[in-house]
Chains A and B, each alone.
Chain A
Amino acid sequence: MSTKATRIVAILVSLLLVAVTVTGCGSKPNASNSLTYAVGTDAKTLDPQFVNDLPSAVAAMQIHETLVARDENMNLVPGLATEWSVSSDGKTWTFKLRKGVKFHDGTDFNADAVKYTLDRMLDKATASPRRSVVSMITGVKVVDASTVQITTDQPFGPFLAQLSTYNVAMMSPTAAKAAGVKGYGQKPVGTGPFKFKSWTPGEKLVLERNDSYWGTKPTIKELTFKVVPEDATRVMLLKTGDAQVVGGVPAFQIDDLKKDANITLIAKPGFRTIYVGMNNSQKPFDDPRVRQAVNYAIDREAIVKNLLRGQATIAVGPESTTIPGAAKTLQTVYTHDVAKAKQLLKDAGYPDGFKTVFHTPSGRYPMDQQVSEAIVGQLKEAGIQAELKVMDWGAYNDMLTKGTESRLFLLGKGSPSADPDMTLSLSFGTKASMNQAFYSNKQVDGLLADQRKETNADKRAQILQQIQDLVQKDAAWANLYYETITVGTRANVKGLQVLPNELIFFNKVTIGK
């Protein structure tokens, strides 16, 4: 009787195998003019004015362009504006616009479009979560079809940097009006090298070449953003060639990928600083000596070398040295020195150290939890007994903002505007929204306001240097390292542009044999 049962199973298995072979000897769509980019997280919106995360920014910036652009070294270069000037009082900016540029819907890019885009973002009814990027603008005036004048409430030093952020990318007024504020994010129409084709949320976003692009026309016809949340799966896709470009390559797979001749790794020092935040408003971290002790107790070199496999640069201050205008060196340098840390703790009245908590996210930044674990171990050597607590991002964010439970915590910060102003102001200004260290220094507050009003670039750089020196001396944070951006590509993919602010551009990509 069991022979019959066995026979039934055998038949079922063979039926399944037949079904498998029949239904799809699926051929890979590997035409050399299409490219698949595997990303860990899907975009949330393609409306630039609502973008506040990297996956959305990368996708939106293939479709849209800004007036002022950044080159690969993050210098400000002409984008949709070809030249600009500022009035002597520093409050009125005049932009000459690129002529003959058309939006993907065929309408003209002109001064009216610039006015529409900026007015839309400033309109409180739009409720852009990044309105603060342009909130200093008091008026946009159309001078003629290709000239626009923008006035600000006071001289604003980092104005061009603000205009180069992805939030201020130009959108087609016709399309934006038709789609409405909520709809535009799914039907974006810009001037960029790629135009929107289709989007299956959580699965893939497909863009196609803009054949009437004003700049270097892309050679790839179709660009697909494929959402693959699992790190290991993304790497496998690159190995099999199912994806040609893969972002967020985990550090532990780098050695393995380097051995593969079919794969090229692009590593670029990035803008993101990973740091140990300290709650300056709570004992014992209200004492700068304790905060300095934490700085001396951490062995940054060991973390970068052993945990991150060299995929990071040791931090000298809060702003990555690759950010234009950020300090290259600072007066105060914290090296690994346990004896000094112990001495500082003793001076502060903690000869036997103390107990505290160390909060960390997990999976928010590469190797975040492991780095936190290592630091907890290093602090122990100096006498600081920190209990590690892992939290999910939402709860973590909330806890840090309230600031009653937080003492030591791991965080990261990028630089969307590629100018030190934005994140220095948000992180170290008294009661600013990213100031989860509750740092407060009147002198710093004054200098932050001063640099904004300063339109002379050299003088402004000096003030910025002063701010960074002060913050580093006060040891508001323990800065750890600047992340290296690692993108994996198939070896035949050339011309991919990876910017230090983590944006990626595909319009100059060619795919060889």
Chain B
Amino acid sequence: MSKMLLRRAAMSIPILLAVSVLVFMMIHLMPGDPARIIAGDSATEEDIAMVRTTLGLDKPVVTQYAVYMANVFKGDLGTSLRTHRPVVDEIKVRLPNTIRLAAVAMVLSVVFGVAIGVISASRPYSWADSASMVGALVGVSMPTFYLGLMLMLLFSVKLGWVPLLADNSLKSMILPAVTLGARSLALLARMTRSSMLEVLNQDYILASRAQGLPGNVILYSRALKNSMTTILTVAGLEFGHLMAGAVVTEQVFAWPGIGRLIVESIWARDFPVVQASVLIIAVAFVLINLLTDILYTVVNPRVRFR
């Protein structure tokens, strides 16, 4: 098993290198002269030329990439073109915020998503099932932007139950986490339901029933356990999406996370920050995938022997 994990880990190195090349090329091919943007309105040509030389933007792209990667391996992610702060410092304050938000959203969606899925599957086509599945459909389709604003209007402005903006308390994280997690919750509910229904139709469930096992034991220890592989796959992928897809939620709730940092940096053509942030998200994706693989072996012993 450890051999498999090592192999998987080794495979991620070329993936990350490819990501770095891709990101580097992509943002350099994008139209928009960073020197001009950084110099700002009311700058003279002389001002702009000075900015370009100072930032090394007058050198060939390949040289810029080589210099960049050499520094990355030394642990130096560069300096933000926009704020002149080290990129590491920029990301250090933002990344934990995004992870925190994504984690709370993940817990919410797994707990409620799986619970709703199990209830639906246990009594298919009942009113509870229909209601949850309609709810899930709404959850999947509702634009994050709209959902966030409506939740704020109702729970913060009208009812005053929760603060509008995050202040590090769990209470203030509910609205952004619900907004961010709504889609994943709905998706997990639907996946759990269909996967459970499939398992519940298997012969061994029929056999268990014939043996006279109690309903709960069949549902939780037989059916749910066997649906776990599907649920884990979806949950793993969704966590990646929650990290990368937090942009809109962060925008609406003024949440100082990495998604907003990336968007702001793209607008400002702040290449070093975009590169580093995308790399970090790529690393997170790879790690989450690795973690999901490990969890497979825990929930499904058959995987261990491969």
Q: Interface of chain B, helix or strand or loop or mixed?
A: helix
| Listed residue (B170, B215, B252, B254) with the most chain A CB atoms within 10 angstroms of its CB | B254
Given A228-B254, A233-B252: A185 touches B169 (CB 8 Å cut-off):
no
A25-50 interface (Cβ within 8 A of B): 25-26, 28, 44-45, 50
Q: Is the CB of B93 within 8 A of A202?
A: yes
Given A44-B82, A129-B43: A6 touches B36 (CB 8 Å cut-off):
no
A347 and B158 alpha carbons, distance in the complex (Å): 61
B64-102 interface (Cβ within 8 A of A): 79, 82-85, 90, 93-94
Q: Which of B42, B84, B153 contacts A416 (CB 8 A)?
A: B42
Q: Is the CB of A433 within 8 A of B48?
A: yes
A426 and B152 alpha carbons, distance in the complex (Å): 44
| Listed residue (B82, B214, B256) with the most chain A CB atoms within 10 angstroms of its CB | B256
Given A44-B82, A182-B79: A52 touches B119 (CB 8 Å cut-off):
no
Interface residue count on the B side (C-beta < 8 Å): 70
Stretch among A214-222, A391-399, A490-498 lining the B interface: A391-399
In the assembled complex, A372 has its CB within 8 A of some CB on chain B: no
In the assembled complex, A513 has its CB within 8 A of some CB on chain B: no
In the assembled complex, A509 has its CB within 8 A of some CB on chain B: no
In the assembled complex, B47 has its CB within 8 A of some CB on chain A: yes
In the assembled complex, B44 has its CB within 8 A of some CB on chain A: yes
* B248 CB to nearest A CB, Å: 10
A28 and B162 alpha carbons, distance in the complex (Å): 11
A416 and B42 alpha carbons, distance in the complex (Å): 8
Q: Is the CB of B85 within 8 A of A201?
A: yes
Stretch among B11-19, B179-187, B260-268 lining the A interface: B260-268
A389 and B54 alpha carbons, distance in the complex (Å): 33
A26 and B146 alpha carbons, distance in the complex (Å): 26
B90 neighbours in A (Cβ, 8 Å): 201
In the assembled complex, A423 has its CB within 8 A of some CB on chain B: yes
Interface residue count on the A side (C-beta < 8 Å): 66
In the assembled complex, B281 has its CB within 8 A of some CB on chain A: no
A399 and B32 alpha carbons, distance in the complex (Å): 8
Q: Is the CB of A398 within 8 A of B119?
A: no
Closest residue of A by beta carbon distance from B261 = A202
Q: Is the CB of B174 within 8 A of A20?
A: yes
B93-149 interface (Cβ within 8 A of A): 93-94, 111-112, 115-116, 118-119, 122-123, 128, 149
In the assembled complex, B219 has its CB within 8 A of some CB on chain A: yes
In the assembled complex, A144 has its CB within 8 A of some CB on chain B: no
Stretch among A235-243, A297-305, A337-345, A466-474 lining the B interface: A235-243
Q: Is the CB of A182 within 8 A of B33?
A: no
Q: Is the CB of A6 within 8 A of B119?
A: yes
Q: Which of A12, A23, A434 contacts B41 (CB 8 A)?
A: A434
A229 and B251 alpha carbons, distance in the complex (Å): 6
Q: Is the CB of B41 within 8 A of A2?
A: no
* A437 CB to nearest B CB, Å: 15
In the assembled complex, A261 has its CB within 8 A of some CB on chain B: no
* A17 CB to nearest B CB, Å: 10
Given A6-B119, A12-B112, A26-B172: A393 touches B267 (CB 8 Å cut-off):
yes
Contact with A along B36-59 (1 / 0, CB 8 A): 111111111111101100100000
A226 neighbours in B (Cβ, 8 Å): 165, 254
B40 neighbours in A (Cβ, 8 Å): 52-53, 129-130
B174 neighbours in A (Cβ, 8 Å): 20
Residues of A within 8 A of B (CB): 1-2, 4-6, 8-9, 12, 19-21, 23-26, 28, 44-45, 50, 52-53, 124, 127-132, 135, 182, 185-186, 200-203, 226-230, 232-233, 236-237, 239-240, 242, 392-395, 397-399, 401, 413-414, 416, 422-423, 426, 431-434
Known contacts A129-B40, A236-B152, A237-B165; 12 further A-B pairs (Cβ under 8 A): A6-B119, A23-B171, A24-B171, A50-B84, A131-B50, A233-B252, A239-B157, A395-B31, A413-B41, A413-B42, A414-B41, A423-B42
Q: Which 7 A-B pairs have the closest CB atoms?
A: A394-B32, A52-B40, A24-B169, A1-B215, A203-B256, A395-B31, A228-B254
21 pairs of residues in contact across A and B, judged by CB atoms under 8 Å: A9-B116, A12-B111, A19-B170, A23-B171, A24-B167, A44-B83, A129-B38, A201-B90, A202-B260, A227-B254, A228-B165, A228-B254, A240-B157, A394-B34, A394-B268, A397-B32, A401-B36, A414-B42, A426-B44, A432-B44, A433-B43
